[in-house]
Amino acid sequence: MFKEVESLGINYGQVANNLPPPEKVLQLLHALKITKARIYDTNPQVLTTFANTNVELIVTVENQMLATLCDQQQALQWVTSHIRPYFPATNITGIAVGNEIFTDENMSLMTYLVPAMVSIHTALVKTGLSQYIQVSSPNSLAVLANSYPPSAGSFRTDLNEIMQQFLQFLATTKSPFWINAYPYFAYKDNPNKISLDYVLFNSNEGMIDPYTKLHYDNMLYAQVDAALFAIARMGFNGLEVKISETGWPSKGDTNEIGATLQNAAIYNRNILRRQLLNEGTPLRPNVRLDIYLFALFNEDMKPGPTSERNYGLFQPDGTMAYNVGLLSTTSSNTEPASASISLASSAPPMVRKTYYFKFIYSPTNMSSGGMVEIPPSLIRGLSCLNH
């Protein structure tokens, strides 16, 4: 089965000196049947190459640009030069204003975030693009003070004022709350208490939220619902949460427990398996969860531990970084999922063999940050979302 998954996207990072040109990347995306991608800038070569294709693209305003784009005239100039010349030929559907601003080491960026988002949205309105392009900003899960159980989800108190402004903007413009969610980090930091099967979406007992009585069989869905509860506590029940990044490293340093080829393959194939079902989280089972995998390629120039350079599904030469399913010519150590995606003979030169993709998630025992009783009305409001 070679099936397009509407809710699945891929992060196309370019912090490397050996990546294929955008033309080859586009061929690879077509072979994978992936029609959603996110880039971390507004690279003109990428925007031009992706024109007149079926790929929906989210572009990014670099963190260092936020202060400048608080000025509405500067924002209008940015949209006029970075977005307008490419749209609608290039199907730009979103602008990510910065990345993980609330947890960035440069705390001054927080004060620029919402004004920059407002200025960019205003510029989109003036250029007639606001109905086509959403404006948001991806957040690290570190914005949450509590995430376990999911119904106790709440934001850090030091972010209350600016988070209120941020959520108000999203609600007004009907834009999603994006989170970068990595169950891998929770497992790496506490492997003795967190079930590997829970974080990998493998079969496991899971956990039951003591207040909502909802059952979670994987950590990623629990993290999303914790964010939903945190948002609801701020008074914004109707916002949609989407995953702007999630992934698993295929290699790491000796102290990076769990960063292996096998775990990366299992996590990513199980994610895809869940995406093929178009399912939502336990709190919003009928709202399809959009997920952008991180990442398309291993990026050799990323700083930090070894894992940072090994999140890619592919090596820069287009070969698989690891077998996410089963190569048609070889055996695999992991069983393929019943729902698979095959990259078969129609693949371009970068993908010669037949691969099978399968993805799945699972839950975890994150340290309790204090349990909070949730009124039934709040749970009902969250579950109903505007779908």
Positions marked active-site = 100, 245
Closest CA to 343 of 332, 329, 331, 353: 353
Whether the CB-CB separation of 277 and 285 falls below 8 Å is answered with no
CA distance 387 to 384: 7
Q: Tell me the Cα Rg of the chain.
A: 20
Whether the CB-CB separation of 256 and 305 falls below 8 Å is answered with yes
Residue corresponding to tokens 């959403």 = 134
Query: What count of other Cβ atoms lies within 10 Å of the Cβ of residue 248?
Result: 26
The reply to whether omega before 285 is within 30° of 0 (cis) is no
Q: Tell whether the torsion through CA atoms of 178, 183, 184 and 187 is positive or negative.
A: positive
Closest CA to 309 of 13, 9, 105, 60: 13
Whether the CB-CB separation of 293 and 9 falls below 8 Å is answered with yes
Q: One-letter amino acid identity for 122?
A: T
Q: Tell whether the torsion through CA atoms of 77, 176, 357 and 253 is positive or negative.
A: positive
Closest CA to 177 of 109, 106, 237: 237
